[in-house]
Structure 1
């Protein structure tokens, strides 16, 4: 009927709701209770507390009484993870050793974290010759030689090479039990167990596929062989960039707990910006600086990825910066490169 509108959907699962089980006190957006409970546990396991509203344009911090009653028998585990995060974030810098003591420990390969002042020692086999890209349990990434803190996961000094990125905080936490039990799970999605998609993930992806087919975003095409394996084509690249006219093919693998975990993403087409045939995605989402939220959609993710592809910023997951001449050459060659691959022709022609 003309003028008839469907009920608004939960921003997490995209399914319709009337009233909702949870309402954000700030933006008044409604959510399904089970979706919020899953979001809260996923955030706790990733060390991403306090919990923020998953609505993309809100980001207000939720008081625990908004969502904790929904956790049921998972509440004790949530509280353990919360206490662990608080333990790691409340170290007092006043307890740090004096500068004289710190200097005396330097010959033994011991340095103070520039953020929390905890003393860190390299493993013996790499004490003086191993990599100097250090990650503290508090999440601080810094150069072991000069002590300068990294920014956005990228070193700001010339002491360390660029052959690999800093170790994620989650990998450091993986071996740390603390006073409250197990640490948050590893945040590197490539190391998580993979399996059949959850019913929530299947339903969410099917809804997104319908929206993409009916109203595709500009400069983005999507094809998928199954709910778990999606392919995308970005471009043509904007005319005012070195990527002008380029078409960039890539692949997404959906995690079983989508949308609470983000997709794995990799590019196939050489582009001079991102590494090819290498999974780019960690929970921190190197290709989107604001980080993943379950209200993000495949459409929004790919538009953000295209914007980052054409920007000048640099972060881990990208290859060493290519010259503008090389980027333009790759953009011009991208059409032929794509067509040489039968899988691409089957998906997009």
Structure 2
């Protein structure tokens, strides 16, 4: 976890980011984990568990990156997956109603936790030409879910192997 002494905690954006990081750390979920990098509060790494059965992503563990804008939470973050999911392109910014691609739908009351829950639920929707979205067969998605467990070398973020 980032140490507060490195940052101007009087800045409202920094204060908000540190609060969210603290809440995620002290109140963890078995479905997702996220934390900012030690050296950059605006870059976070996350790990999410695939949605439950009957989702083809069930059992999968997926890793990605969140970049918060300097005007966060007034403007939305951007997201990209760093592991294959069968739903989103690897290392390409994804277009979601909670992302920088749709600033008009973003609500400043939302945060990283809300975004992770939303991303997890978006996994079961069709890409339909969405930027950063891909279409894969159910078998390919299930195969990727089985092969997906790993730990990030940057953040060491990981989830327990079972709920």
- Show the 5 A alignment for 1:213-292: 213-225=25-37, 226-280=40-94, 281-284=99-102, 291-292=105-106
Give the structure with higher Rg (CA): 1
- Show the 5 A alignment for 1:16-35: none
Structure-2-length-normalised TM-score: 0.78
- With 304-313 and 266-275 compared, the bigger mean Cα shift is at 304-313
Alpha-carbon offset, residue 311 of structure 1: 2.6
Partner of 2:5: none
**C-alpha distance in 2 between matches for 1:273 and 1:283:** 17
Alpha-carbon offset, residue 313 of structure 1: 5.5
Match of 1:202 among 14, 17, 39: 14
Partner of 2:158: 348
- Show the 5 A alignment for 1:68-87: none
Residue aligned with 2:105, SS:
coil
- With 235-244 and 311-320 compared, the bigger mean Cα shift is at 311-320
**C-alpha distance in 1 between matches for 2:53 and 2:88:** 19
Which whole-Å deviations, capped at 9, do the CAs of 1:87-134 have from their partners, x for residues lacking one?
xxxxxxxxxxxxxxxxxxxxxxxxxxxxxxxxxxxxxxxxxxxxxxxx
Tell me if structure 1 keeps the 8 A contact 2:127–2:134.
no
**C-alpha distance in 2 between matches for 1:217 and 1:300:** 12
How many residue pairs get matched? 145
Q: How large is the Cα RMSD of the aligned pairs?
A: 2.4
- Show the 5 A alignment for 1:120-135: none
Partner of 1:39: none
Structure-1-length-normalised TM-score: 0.38
Tell me if structure 1 keeps the 8 A contact 2:46–2:157.
no
Higher strand share: 2
Tell me if structure 2 keeps the 8 A contact 1:261–1:283.
no
Tell me if structure 1 keeps the 8 A contact 2:51–2:123.
no
Which whole-Å deviations, capped at 9, do the CAs of 1:125-171 have from their partners, x for residues lacking one?
xxxxxxxxxxxxxxxxxxxxxxxxxxxxxxxxxxxxxxxxxxxxxxx
Task: Give unpaired runs (5+ residues) of structure 1.
Answer: 1-197
- With 239-248 and 229-238 compared, the bigger mean Cα shift is at 229-238
Higher helix share: 1
Partner of 1:140: none
Alpha-carbon offset, residue 304 of structure 1: 0.5
Alpha-carbon offset, residue 319 of structure 1: 3.3
Alpha-carbon offset, residue 228 of structure 1: 1.1
Residue aligned with 2:120, SS:
helix
Partner of 2:3: none
Shift of the 236–309 alpha-carbon distance from structure 1 to 2, 3 Å rule, reads closer
Provide runs of 4+ in structure 1 moved above 4 Å: none
Alpha-carbon offset, residue 229 of structure 1: 1.2
